[in-house]
Structure 1
Amino acid sequence: MLALHHSNSSSSPLIPRSSNGSRGEAVPGVALEMSQRGNLTASAVMVVVLPMTLGIVSNIVALFILANAYWLQRRRSKATFLLYATSLVVTDFMGHVIPGALVLKLYLSGGVQPEDSSASDGMCQFLGGSMVFFGLCPLFLGCAMAAERCLGVTKPLLHSSLVTSTRTKMCLSAIWLAALCVALLPYLQLGSYTYQDPGTWCFIQVLSDIHEADVAFVLLFSGLGLSSLAAAVVCNTISGLTLVLARIRRKPGSHHSAKSHDIEMVVQLVGITVTSCICWCPLLIVGLMSAIRSYTGSIGEDLPNYKILLVMGVRLATWNQILDPWVYILLRRTVLRKIYLIAKCQAGQGGNLFGCLDSTSPTESEKNEVNQA
C-alpha cells in the first residue's frame, strides 16, 4: 500500500472569462487552468511515487542484511527469529509493489468517479483484497514473532524442543493462508470491496450501503488486527520483564552472551510492535466505527469527516511497511554499540563528533561494557 492522494478536474477552480464574454480572450485562462491541473497531477503522483520508492529501497536493504545474517547465524533461536523477520520484510516489499502499482495506475487514469464505480470492478476487488491481505500479514507475523520470543525467553527448554525450522515454515504458511482466506471472503458474499473517496483506491465497504455482511467483515478484519497487536504487546511485555529480572538476579562475572541475543531480539520486537500500533490502530478503529455508524444510520453529517479519517488512516498504515525494515536495521547490536560508543566518546571529548568517529572501533572490554548496558 502507499500514500493516497488525488487531484482531478474538479480540484482546480475554473478561471472566469472576461466580462465581454469573448471566447478568444478565454483561451489564456483555460490554458492556465490546464497548466495548473497538470502541475497538481504531477505533484500528486510524486507524493505517491516517493513513499513507494522509499519503502521498496528500505525493504531491499533490510532483506539483504537479514539474508546475510540468517546464513551466518547458527543459533536456532536467532535463526528462527531471522526467518520470521525475513518473511515480514518480504511481505512488506510485496505490499508496496502490488497494491502500489494498481493505485498508481488509477492515479494516472484520473481515478474512478462514483457513477463509474463498476467500470473496473475486477481491479477494485483485487486491490481491496491485496490491501486486506498485506495489512493482516504483518500484524500476524509480528504477533507470531512476539509469541515465539516469549516462549524462548520464559521456557527455553520447551522452546528448543518445540520450535524447529520446519515448524516455523509451517507457521508462516498458515499465517499467509489465514490472511488470504480473510481477503477472499468478499468473493463468498461476506463483505465487499468498493472504491473509496477520491476514487483512487479500494477497501472494505464501510461508508455507504452497509449490510450485515459488511459489518461482520469489518469486525473480523479490525478484530483480528487489534487482537494481534494486543497479543504482541502482552508477549513482549512478558519477555521484557523476564529479561530484566534475569539481569537483576545475574551474579557478577557470570556468562551472559546468550541473554544479549535475547535482548536484541526483544528490543527489535518492541520497536516493530510500537510501530505497528501507531500505524495501524487508527485505520482499524476508524474503519470499524465508520461501518457501525453507517449501518445504524447515525453517521449523518459526519460522513465527510469519516472519509477524511479513513484516507488519513490508510496513509498512516502505509508507513508501517516503510518503517518496519528500519526498525530491524537500526536496532541491531552492531548499530546500537556504535551509537553507544559515539555518545560515550562525545561525552568524554566535549562533543567532538569527528574525533569520535575515528576512534569507535570497539575493544573486547568495550563490547562487554555495551552488553552490560
Structure 2
Amino acid sequence: VEPTNTIALPIFMFAGGAIGNLIAIIVLSVSRQERKSSAFYTLVCGLAVTDLLGTCLASPLTIANYLDQNVLKNSHVCEFQSFLLLFFGLTGLSIIFAMAAERYLAICCPYTYQRWGVDRRFAQKFLISIYISHIVFCCLPMIGMAGSLLQSSSTWCFIDWNTHKPRAAAYSALYGVVSLLLILGTIVLNLAVSGALLLMRQRTVQRPVTRASVRERWRALSSAAETQMMAVLVMTSAVVLACSAPLVVSQIRVFANCFMLKHDPRADLAAIRIASVNPILDPWIYILLRRSLFRRLLSLSRGSSSTRSSSSSTPQRNLKNSVSRSIKDAQK
C-alpha cells in the first residue's frame, strides 16, 4: 500500500486527538465545580494535557513519514519518536495510577489523605515529579542503554525490544514490568475503591429513615462528587488500560526471546495503533461525564423514583382514610 493511500488514517487520528483534548481542557477549566475540586481533577486535567502533547508531538512525525518514507530513517528523528512513544505511554499509565491512588486515599484512608495534605498543589507537584522522572527514564535509550529501531512496517520507531543485547533487553524488560505494575496497581485500587463505595451505599440503604424516605436515601446514595469521580476514573482506566495493555504485552515478550519464540511485527504494529487510539477516546469521557450532566441524570432518576413512590402511596392513603371513616361510623 502506498503511503499516500493510507495517510487519511493518521491525519484523522491527529485531528480527533487534538480537537477532543482541547475541548476537554476547556470544559475542565470553565466548569467552576471542577476548578474548585481537589487533587482528582488536577490529575484529570494533567492527563488531558499529556494526551494533547503526545498527539501534537508524535502524530506530525508519523504523517511526515507517510509523505516521505525517509523521515524516520534519520537516526535522530527515529530516536525522538521512540522517546515520545515511551514517555507518553508510561506517563499516561502513571497519571491513571495516581488518580486511582488519590481516590483510594480519599475514600478508604481519609485520615492519611488529610494528614498528607492531598490538594491541588500536591497533585501539581506530583505531576511535575512524574514528568521529570519519566523524562530521565525514557532518555536512557538515547545515552546507550537501548537502541531505537525503525520497525519493519517503516511507519514508526521504538526501542529494539527483540534484541539479545543484555542492556537493551534489560531496559525493555524493565519498561514492560513497570508498565504492567502500573496497570495491575490501577486495577487493584479501582476494585478496592468500588468495593468500599458499594459497602457504604449498602449501609446507607439499610439505615432506617423516618421522614421523606425516598428523597433522603437518594441524597445519600447520589453524593455526586464521589459517584461522578468514580465514574470518570473507572471509564478512563478502562480505556487507557485496554489501549495500553497490547503494547505492554508486546514489550513483555522480550522475555520470550530467551525461549526463541517467533517475533510478530504485525502484532507490534496493531499494539501501537491501539495505543494511539487512547488519547482520542480519553477526552470524551471528561466531556460526557462532566458534573453538570451527571447531576441532570441523577435528578431525572430522582424524579422518576419520587413519582413512583407518590403513585404507590396514593392508594395506601385512600385505604387509611376509608378505614378511619369506618371506625368513626362504628363508634357513633
TM-score by length of 2: 0.81
Aligned match of 1:310 in 256, 268, 271?
Answer: 268
In 1, Cα distance between the equivalents of 2:189 and 2:168?
A: 31
CA distance in 1, matches of 2:9, 2:301: 47
| Distance across 2 between alignment mates of 1:186 and 1:148 | 31
Cα deviations by residue, 1:154-206 (Å, 9 ceiling, x for unpaired): 12243233213322211111111121122101123211211112212110102
What is the identity percentage for the equivalent residue pairs of Structure 1 and Structure 2?
24
- Structure-1 residue corresponding to 2:282: 324
CA distance in 1, matches of 2:51, 2:43: 12
* Match among 47, 51, 60 for residue 101 of structure 1: 60
Matched residues in 2 for 1:196 and 1:64: separation? 37
Which residue of the partner structure matches residue 151 of structure 1? 105
Structural mapping, 1:40-189, within 5 Å? 41-69=3-31, 71-73=32-34, 78-111=37-70, 119-162=73-116, 163-189=118-144
Give the 3-state SS of the residue equivalent to 1:194 in structure 2: strand
Matched residue SS, 2:38:
helix
**Aligned counterpart, 1:292:** 255
Q: Superposition pairs for residues 193-208 of structure 1, below 5 Å?
A: 193-207=148-162
Q: CA RMSD in A?
A: 2.4
Distance 2:148 2:252 in 1: 15
1:93-130 per-position Cα deviation (integer Å, ceiling 9, x unaligned): 01101011111111111257xxxx8x511111111001
SS in 1 for 2:260: coil
Aligned 8 A contact 2:28 2:34 in 1: no
1:332, distance to aligned residue in structure 2 (A): 3.2
* Correspondence for 2:190: 236
> What is the deviation of 1:217?
1.2
Q: In 1, distance between residues paired with 2:291 and 2:196? A: 20
CA separation of 1:179/1:367 partners in 2, compared to 1, >3 Å: closer, same or farther?
A: farther
Higher helix share: 2
> Residues 47-86 of structure 1, C-alpha deviation per residue, up to 9 Å, x if partnerless?
11011111111111111111112x44475xx331111000
Aligned-pair distance for 1:138? 0.7
Name the SS for the 2:7 alignment partner. helix
- SS of alignment partner, residue 206 of structure 1: coil
Residues in 2 aligned to 1:161 and 1:63: alpha-carbon distance in whole angstroms: 30
Letter in 1 for 2:168: D
Aligned counterpart, 1:345? none
SS at match of 2:187: helix
Q: Structure 2: how far apart are the matches of 1:367 and 1:50?
A: 41
Contact 1:111 1:199 (8 Å CA) reproduced? no
Aligned length: 295
TM superposition score normalised by structure 1: 0.73
Tell me the distance in 2 between the aligned counterparts of 1:308 and 1:148.
37
Q: Which has the larger radius of gyration?
A: 2
SS at match of 2:153: coil
Q: List runs of 5+ in structure 2 lacking aligned partners.
A: 210-215, 307-332
**Distance in structure 2 (CA, Å) of the matches to 1:149 and 1:130:** 29
Which runs of no fewer than 5 residues in structure 1 stay unpaired?
1-6, 9-40, 342-361
Q: Which amino acid aligns with 1:49?
A: I
